Structure 1
Amino acid sequence: MATYTTPELGVDVSGEKRELLTLLQDQRNMLRVAARNLTDDQARKQTTVSALTIGALVKHLARGEENAARVIVERDENAEFDMSRLAGEYELGTDETLDGWLEAYERNAAGFDRVIAEAADLDDLIPQPTAPWQPEHEWASIRTMILNLLRETAHHCGHADIIREALDGQTTMGAISEGQAWAEGEWWEQS
């Protein structure tokens, strides 16, 4: 399977579960590359017209992993999204650290992967919490939930890459290709 990084899974899965979790882990790794070697101040810095920062994106995705696992495990048909949860969701507070949220991200991702490994069937339908953007009760397969988390992670990896490039010039692809023979040459430097 083609990946940008060398994803290692902490769970023993095969087949479709392995494929989906490997791609998700690859995107998680890409986010870590975008955040590597940043200070907390740099992780809080807004470098584009958006209010997003790398620290806030790591925090948001860490919470997303935790929430997705909880929704699968609890299977609450009456769940409602707690809007108060969004307070501070997209900011790395002065009392928070990038390292702390990276650790939470790793821990929550491992928890999500364990839930997927233990799932009997990816076709199992899970009740989704209602929210202002989703007022009706809906059900999604575990597969769809994994794909949604993969999409969300990839989406925010793109944000993190742009924010990081504006911060200090590092691009994720440039960082992961350092020292690779295939990345040498004039063609790569212009891309």
Structure 2
Amino acid sequence: MTVNELSTPDLTDAPAISGERADLLAALAKSRHFLRLTTRDLTDEQAGQRTTASELCLGGLIKHVTLVERRWADFILHGPAAMGDATTMTEADWATWADQFRMQRGETLAGLLAAYAEVARRTDELVATLPDLDATQPLPKAPWFEAGARWSARRVLMQIVSETAQHAGHADIIRESLDGAKSMG
């Protein structure tokens, strides 16, 4: 996918989906579209540029959302081991974690968008084929999760939708600060 191919995913080969699953896919597609739209017509340099007091850049947001969506989808399938244990992270681990919010040397916006498209395709397939949205997994150990809590696949998918929408809003502010272009307003 090139930077300018920012349409919603083609699900024509996907199984017929209706009801709740169709609603989840529609919400994901809309949030993903707005997030990708913020990168339209940008160079790699622009995609890596910080434009606000935040450490965030557009390429870094695409990279972060890709990683988070992949990890949540893996969590649905494989449980908390897919997410890691945040309570044992070292200072070096946290520094590596922070790198996901920046474009690194050699990364391109086109490459980040292609990786995001592949993760989105995989998640969409999971939504379409998962046998039971009520199936739960225990949350991994992390200071931001309630100890002993379990989340259903449905709740995890809603988390992916909400995180994507939240980051699309961040991206819109960053893009407007970059060159005045707006994606949502």
Alignment TM-score, normalising by the size of structure 1: 0.81
Query: Corresponding residue for 1:61?
Result: 65
After superposition, where does 1:138-157 map in structure 2 within 5 Å? 138-157=149-168
| 2:121 paired with 1:117 | no
**Structure-1 separation of matches of 2:171 and 2:83:** 31
Q: Note if 1:51 corresponds to 2:55.
A: yes
Q: 2:36 aligns with which of 32, 36, 43?
A: 32
- Give the gaps of 5 or more residues in structure 2: 1-5
1:127 is matched with which residue?
138
The number of residues matched between the two structures is 170
State whether residues 9 and 22 of structure 1, in contact with CA within 8 Å, keep that contact through their aligned partners in structure 2.
Answer: no
- The 5-angstrom pairing of residues 1-191 of structure 1 reads 7-8=8-9, 10=11, 11-12=14-15, 13-76=17-80, 80-81=84-85, 83=89, 84=93, 86-134=97-145, 136-173=147-184
- Give the direction of change, closer, same or farther, for the CA distance of 1:18–1:146 in structure 2 (3 Å limit): same
Partner SS for 1:35: coil
Aligned-pair distance for 1:8? Answer: 4.4
Contact residue 77 and residue 128 of structure 1 kept, 8 A: no
Tell me how large the CA RMSD over aligned residues is. 2.2
- Give the letter aligned to residue 57 of structure 1: L
> Residues 47 and 59 of structure 2 are in contact (CA less than 8 Å); yes or no, is this contact kept in structure 1?
yes
Aligned-partner Cα distance in 1 for 2:10–2:78: 24
- Contact 1:44/1:54, CA 8 A, preserved across alignment: yes
Q: Give the structure with higher Rg (CA).
A: 1
- Cα distance in 2 for partners of 1:70, 1:30 equals 24
Give the stretch that moved more between structures: 161-170 or 129-138. Answer: 129-138
Which 10-residue stretch deviates more, 111-120 or 74-83?
74-83
Shift of the 79–102 alpha-carbon distance from structure 1 to 2, 3 Å rule, reads closer
Q: Higher relative CO (CA 8 A, sep ≥ 6), structure 1 or 2?
A: 2
SS of the equivalent of 1:126 reads strand
Give 4+ residue runs of structure 1 displaced > 3 Å after superposition: 5-9, 76-83
